[in-house]
Structure 1
Amino acid sequence: MPDSASLWRAFGTLLSLPDIKSRVAQVKAVIVVFIILFLLLASSSVLHLQGEWAVESLAIVVILLALNWFLTADTTNIVAGMMLWTVTIYAVSKAFYYDGLYDTALLLYPFVVIFAVFLGSRVMVVPLVCFMLISYYFIAYAVSSNMVVNNVLTAYPAWAKANDMAIMMATYGLGIVVIAKFIRALIAKLSQQKETNRLAKEESEKRILYNDLTGLPNAEKCKQDLEVCLQTSPKDGSLIGFVTLHLNNFNWINSTLGHTFGNELLKLLARRFENLQNDKTVVYHTSGIEFSFVKRTPDFESLNDFCNQIIRLTIMPVSMPDYGYEINCSIGVAAAPFDGNTYAELHRKASFAVYRAKEDEPNSHHFYDKEMESAIVRRLDLITDLKTAIEQNEFELYYQPKVHLATNTIVGAEALIRWHKGNEIIPPNAFIPVAEESGLINEIGKWAIETACRECARWQKIGMKGVTVAVNLSPVQFKRGNLPTYVFRALQQCGLDPNMLELEITESLFIDNADHVKQQIHVMAEKGVNFAIDDFGTGYSNLNYLSHFNASTLKIDMSFVRQMLQNKQQQHIVNAIIKMSRVMDLENVAEGVEDEQTARELQAQGCVYGQGYFWSAPVPRDKFLRLLKQHTYAA
């Protein structure tokens, strides 16, 4: 017989049931219950019955431990059957040798039936119940025939007792079967509900973690996966590349070809990018026009090749019904561990790199570096400062005279914006591009038109009649379509004749949204506002646009004028522009005149107006007013 220490070790092992749902665990649990029972019976026998049947009870414990050792996924039915038959035979044996039908050992029968119903099938339950019923009559016969001594004195006949117990056991067994069916039905229902909940959870997670349109994992899934990838990354010197791709012209596609076409295009690109996926590469659709890739790679060279592969897949012609189109993109790359160890860091830095790639050229990629982040942060700080400058009225208009070359008289001025940031004066080329990009140019441009009109009206009132003012326009100011509204409001508020206002536009307007711009220019030109083509000769120089956009003046770019005396080719270009303006009945203004000889040469070639440092640099309004009073102006 095993010692107590080994029994307790085995008992502790049996109590360790990590997965009660498995068949093995269920059988093991029943074995544990019976081991506890027989240990208690053995203890009770030692205390109250001078150890009778204690050895037998411990022997059953040893048999149960042996069955537990023999228990595997393939032997569960055999072990369960042997266990239940062992307990049943023990019960009938003890009843036969002691108190017969009144022996407490027969109380084990209900337990055996319960466990048989839940652990076994009909093949296991029916023989056991039949054996139990037969055992009742066998013991009754044994008692009646004096084969065994009945220690319980009673007038109740043994056969009647056997009948009662058989009826009770049969009824009890039937009840257990019915209850078991109810329980199994309930378990099946709960299992079905659990499966339904599991599928609903998976669907919910899919909606949360996957893009509805393309089916690719989204930004939240990317964040989760990347954090796991970073935590489990091997320390072998490899890189985890975070690649962000932006579709540059997708918004134009949506607005011109429609959202349906745009959605189909996104799905097509998603299928292409899925071809890049493997055990080291995952693709994500992180926003409407943004795809991201997480790539484990040995070095930066491999990551560079991967970016080129993405670009090639993106710019492949798109063959869709009725359309053939090419996408262009910009790619930014951040690499862990060098650029960060979190999704937030890597995504932010890859976005900085995307921004630099957009500034570079279409279909290019850039790796993150600290300098590009510093430049972008400076740009963001500049946007914040521009908003403050608008609120606190830190801008001022300077004026550069426009001179009639033949009479050397000031006939107008070009209004040029300056930004007084503390004690520093910031020129327009330092902040206008940022203002255009951020959209703040609309507020700044509106202020410039209102201020220039108000100042020009003041000139007229103090007797400087006929002196015009010119204001530069940004292409961004045409996008909203309300430019004529606030131009007319500015003229009306200060009572200025529209003929006194000249708006300068660049040739870049001729390409983007030509009809939209043309309509607004026509509305203003019909009311008398003049338009000048600024920096003519450096852009597209399409003569057809000049007639369509109601231009009244050509401004010859200073890059031609400044070198015209030293460079015959530049001189020929200036001469050609002057002749062309005269043929088209347009006024001409030469910018960048810095000396008297250049002014005379321009006049000799037929140029009418000049503007440049020869007469004056751009000056504040009070100084310009003094210039007007010092010179004879054209009435």
Structure 2
Amino acid sequence: MFLERFITSLPIRITFPLVLFLAFVIVSIFEAYLEKKTSFRRIEEESREHICSITAEFQELSEYFISKNNLNLIERRIADLSANQFLKLILLVDPEGKVIISAQKKLKNDNLEDALKSGAKKYHREILSIINELRKSPKMICKISEDTNKILSVAPVLFPSETKKLRPSNLGFLIMMYDLEGIKEKHRKETLVILLSEFGVMLFLLGTIYLIFSKLIGERLETLLRIVREIKKGNLDIAIKLEGNDEFSLIARILNDLIRRLKTYIKYDSLTGIFNRFALEHNIKELLKESSENQRNILIFMDIDNFKEINDTFGHNFGDILLRLFAKRLRNVVKEGIVGRLGGDEFIIFLQDHGETNIQEMLNKWISELTSPYKIKDNIIEISITAGITVHQGKDGDFYQLLKESDIALYYGKKKGKNISIIFDDSIKLQEEKRIKLSNLLKFALDKNEFFLVYQPIFDLKTRRIVSVEALLRWKNGNELIPPSEFIPILEETGMIRDVGRWVIEEACKQIKIWSDKGLREVAVSVNIDIQQILEDNFVTSVTDMIKKYCVKSGLLKFEITESEAMKFPETVIQTLKKLSYEGIEISIDDFGTGYSSLSYLKMMPVGNIKIDRSFVKDLPEDKDDRILTKAIIDLSKNFGYRTTAEGVETREQLIFLKEIGCNFVQGYYFSKPVSPDEVEQLITNENEIFRHKWIL
């Protein structure tokens, strides 16, 4: 693993020659090892045979000249042999053990043992052992010493005697010692010279191979690496030019094809075929750089209203078809400029002019064509569009600023009811700055105890008494009272509504207990809940825990959820509301008639009360349409077994009309604005005196 990581960590133009060099070194070392082992064995054998041959030859020669009593010739022959630098010892010993001839003059006339100790100190015992063996069996012995450094050769020499029989008493010895280690060392040096020569040749060949590799492979590889580095930098306006049919040419062709595909993928949206976010940003930035001072830069951010409902109703495949058809129309209506899809159902248009274009008029014309009915799978789909526009002069503003401003304008268009075009201006900028400021302040409002509740009484039209109060959230930051219409949407957008909503429920439970402990007549408290709270896994458990904690009687805590919120996740909402209803909490549908609800879902909900939105009440009884709609809601509620509460009642005429058409409860400024808990106590305690004149109908 280490070797693999090491090799792959280096460029191939370095790795390949390095591996080649290492392979050569390993082979050379192995070859030298084998050469040494086999050659030394061969040298030992050849040297032993050579010494044995010399010893045998000299044995015969010595016996002949001894018989002739001519030792001078033997001495000359020994002198000739002594010229061999590796022949370290030559002794001719007579039967009495006296050295009669020696290559070393100082050993002549010494006895055998002394001569051996002087001339072959390390090996004298081994030689004496051989001589003792020869006395028993007189035949030449030629062997390698025990430490393999010398060749020891000993041959019996017959000296003349009165009897011609061979006896130990007339045997002398010829002793030779050959330096095997010296010849090995000589061979070692010769081998080293040969290996160095071969190594030089191999290095030359290796260098030649590397140059060829560098030229034929390295340069082609470097070309590929250079292109890959350019791709990494984001430069796709490149092509690889490598001729041939080798593997590198094949890789080059594959990379060129991938670059072409990548350019398409990076530049164009895969669903609609128009520019994607990357291409939009790149092209708009380039145009902004080249923009002149008298040129207007116009960025339009638009999306399809309620596109999620289309997906939920018809399916995502259906929605994808609609997006493709919409993008096709968008390309056709925008004759000049850049068109792209930012994501989802969000589209961007970028234009440049010199002030001659009436933006609103042009956009209205486009929207008229874009919103004409779409026919998809035998379905006729009608859509609306909300657009946010920002306009900058010359080089004022970059891409991100334009995108942010148009997005903010789009956001405010959605808040105003959708199906509208909003141009970003200073007033929107101030609103957005305020929204951001409030969002930051809201993060700490709960910890700083800046929230408080007020309560608006709800009256029973039959008994003319206060039967419940609606808990309404208020926020006071320092000395400034922030309107609910400004901060509640921010709580919902940021998700802080979950924590704040939990606090509201607990405060309501706490207030119920306070009133109960004071012996006040029992009135229910109605709390508004958000869909984000309902979707929490532990919502029902946390509510029941608070009810138990503050000993809230069944029926004294009520929840209100708006019609539009209830329809976002109807199945989940139904299940959660059923659990809450089982715990004795009455459920009201708030702002009924302003949203989009399904009666089939409505009848499955454990609803006890329908609250008629103030928008239907404010023009009663003069407005004919409001009279019809309000009566229809009350009649529908009765048929379902629900009671009704009218919100926003401000006049006696409204009260009379609502009583006549069978409304059960009323709530509004006609009777009381939202008040503090202490004021609620006063209203309940003295309601007959306070509200007597209100009931004179």
Q: TM-score, normalised by structure 2?
A: 0.53
Q: Report whether the alignment pairs 1:448 with 2:504.
A: yes
Q: Return closer, same or farther for 1:351/1:497 CA change in 2, 3 Å cut-off.
A: same
Q: 1:195 aligns with which of 223, 237, 258?
A: 223
Q: Report whether the alignment pairs 1:423 with 2:451.
A: no
Q: Report whether the alignment pairs 1:619 with 2:675.
A: yes
The residue that corresponds to 1:232 in the other structure is 290
1:415, CA displacement in angstroms?
1.2
Amino acid at match of 1:229: L
For the Cα contact (< 8 Å) 1:339–1:346, is it kept in 2?
Answer: no
For the residues of structure 1 that align with 2:659 and 2:320, how far apart are their CA atoms?
Answer: 59
Give SS of 2:471's match: strand
Q: Deviations over 1:613-632 (max 9, x none)?
A: 45433211122223334458
The residue that corresponds to 1:467 in the other structure is 523
For the residues of structure 1 that align with 2:586 and 2:571, how far apart are their CA atoms?
Answer: 19
Q: Report whether the alignment pairs 1:400 with 2:438.
A: no
For the residues of structure 2 that align with 1:268 and 1:600, how far apart are their CA atoms?
Answer: 53
Q: Report whether the alignment pairs 1:242 with 2:270.
A: no
For the Cα contact (< 8 Å) 2:588–2:611, is it kept in 1?
Answer: yes
For the residues of structure 1 that align with 2:324 and 2:680, how far apart are their CA atoms?
Answer: 61
Q: Report whether the alignment pairs 1:458 with 2:486.
A: no
Q: 1:358 aligns with which of 381, 401, 414?
A: 414
1:452, CA displacement in angstroms?
0.7
For the Cα contact (< 8 Å) 1:329–1:364, is it kept in 2?
Answer: yes
Amino acid at match of 2:572: H
For the residues of structure 1 that align with 2:370 and 2:551, how far apart are their CA atoms?
Answer: 56
For the Cα contact (< 8 Å) 2:268–2:279, is it kept in 1?
Answer: no
1:414, CA displacement in angstroms?
1.6
For the residues of structure 2 that align with 1:262 and 1:576, how far apart are their CA atoms?
Answer: 35
For the Cα contact (< 8 Å) 1:331–1:354, is it kept in 2?
Answer: yes
Select between 454-463 and 569-578 the one with higher mean Cα deviation.
569-578
For the Cα contact (< 8 Å) 1:238–1:296, is it kept in 2?
Answer: yes
Amino acid at match of 1:455: Q
For the residues of structure 1 that align with 2:326 and 2:523, how far apart are their CA atoms?
Answer: 58
Q: Report whether the alignment pairs 1:337 with 2:337.
A: no
For the residues of structure 2 that align with 1:295 and 1:370, how far apart are their CA atoms?
Answer: 21
Q: 1:519 aligns with which of 537, 558, 575?
A: 575
Select between 181-190 and 495-504 the one with higher mean Cα deviation.
181-190
Q: Report 1:206-605 matches (<5 A).
A: 206=236, 210=266, 214=270, 219=277, 222-234=280-292, 237-246=294-303, 281-283=337-339, 286=342, 290-299=346-355, 301=357, 330-337=386-393, 340-359=396-415, 365-464=421-520, 466-480=522-536, 483-509=539-565, 511-536=567-592, 546-558=602-614, 581-582=637-638, 584-593=640-649
For the Cα contact (< 8 Å) 2:462–2:664, is it kept in 1?
Answer: yes
For the Cα contact (< 8 Å) 2:269–2:275, is it kept in 1?
Answer: no
Amino acid at match of 2:296: L
Amino acid at match of 1:197: L
Amino acid at match of 1:334: T
Select between 183-192 and 567-576 the one with higher mean Cα deviation.
567-576
For the Cα contact (< 8 Å) 1:333–1:368, is it kept in 2?
Answer: yes
Aligned-pair identity (%): 30
Give SS of 2:357's match: helix
Q: Return closer, same or farther for 1:361/1:426 CA change in 2, 3 Å cut-off.
A: closer
For the residues of structure 1 that align with 2:625 and 2:430, how far apart are their CA atoms?
Answer: 42
Give SS of 2:446's match: helix
For the residues of structure 2 that align with 1:437 and 1:498, how far apart are their CA atoms?
Answer: 33
Q: TM-score, normalised by structure 1?
A: 0.58
Give SS of 2:409's match: helix
For the residues of structure 2 that align with 1:377 and 1:295, how far apart are their CA atoms?
Answer: 27
For the residues of structure 1 that align with 2:408 and 2:620, how far apart are their CA atoms?
Answer: 43
For the Cα contact (< 8 Å) 1:210–1:216, is it kept in 2?
Answer: no
Amino acid at match of 1:368: F
For the Cα contact (< 8 Å) 2:616–2:629, is it kept in 1?
Answer: yes
The residue that corresponds to 2:168 in the other structure is none
For the Cα contact (< 8 Å) 2:521–2:684, is it kept in 1?
Answer: no
For the Cα contact (< 8 Å) 2:295–2:394, is it kept in 1?
Answer: no
For the Cα contact (< 8 Å) 1:211–1:285, is it kept in 2?
Answer: no
1:332, CA displacement in angstroms?
3.3
Give SS of 1:619's match: coil
Give SS of 2:577's match: helix
Q: Deviations over 1:140-197 (max 9, x none)?
A: xxxxxxxxxxxxxxxxxxxxxxxxxxxxxxxxxxxxxxx9998687445454234313
Amino acid at match of 1:400: Q
Q: Deviations over 1:252-287 (max 9, x none)?
A: 677788888878887887777777999x74445555
1:486, CA displacement in angstroms?
3.1
Q: Return closer, same or farther for 1:182/1:432 CA change in 2, 3 Å cut-off.
A: closer
For the Cα contact (< 8 Å) 2:540–2:580, is it kept in 1?
Answer: yes
Instruction: Tell me the number of residue pairs that the alignment of Structure 1 and Structure 2 aligns.
Output: 454
1:426, CA displacement in angstroms?
3.2
For the residues of structure 2 that align with 1:364 and 1:448, how far apart are their CA atoms?
Answer: 35
Amino acid at match of 2:552: L
Give SS of 2:389's match: strand
Amino acid at match of 1:527: E
Amino acid at match of 1:239: R
1:455, CA displacement in angstroms?
1.0
Q: Return closer, same or farther for 1:460/1:359 CA change in 2, 3 Å cut-off.
A: closer
For the residues of structure 2 that align with 1:477 and 1:218, how far apart are their CA atoms?
Answer: 36
For the Cα contact (< 8 Å) 2:647–2:666, is it kept in 1?
Answer: yes
The residue that corresponds to 1:40 in the other structure is none
Q: Return closer, same or farther for 1:322/1:586 CA change in 2, 3 Å cut-off.
A: closer
Q: Report 1:89-168 matches (<5 A).
A: none
> Is the radius of gyration larger for structure 1 or structure 2?
2
For the residues of structure 2 that align with 1:255 and 1:566, how far apart are their CA atoms?
Answer: 39
For the residues of structure 2 that align with 1:268 and 1:373, how far apart are their CA atoms?
Answer: 34
The residue that corresponds to 1:71 in the other structure is none
Q: Deviations over 1:535-562 (max 9, x none)?
A: 4455568765553222212334556666
Give unpaired runs (5+ residues) of structure 1: 1-178
Q: Deviations over 1:177-233 (max 9, x none)?
A: xx9998687445454234313432454325799368638766566555444433333
For the Cα contact (< 8 Å) 2:574–2:605, is it kept in 1?
Answer: yes
Q: Return closer, same or farther for 1:522/1:238 CA change in 2, 3 Å cut-off.
A: same
For the residues of structure 1 that align with 2:628 and 2:504, how far apart are their CA atoms?
Answer: 36
Measured on the aligned residues, the alpha-carbon RMSD in Å equals: 4.7
Q: Deviations over 1:80-120 (max 9, x none)?
A: xxxxxxxxxxxxxxxxxxxxxxxxxxxxxxxxxxxxxxxxx
Amino acid at match of 1:534: D
For the Cα contact (< 8 Å) 2:457–2:470, is it kept in 1?
Answer: yes
The residue that corresponds to 1:27 in the other structure is none
1:440, CA displacement in angstroms?
2.7
Q: Return closer, same or farther for 1:312/1:572 CA change in 2, 3 Å cut-off.
A: closer
Amino acid at match of 1:417: L
For the residues of structure 2 that align with 1:219 and 1:424, how far apart are their CA atoms?
Answer: 42
For the Cα contact (< 8 Å) 2:297–2:394, is it kept in 1?
Answer: no
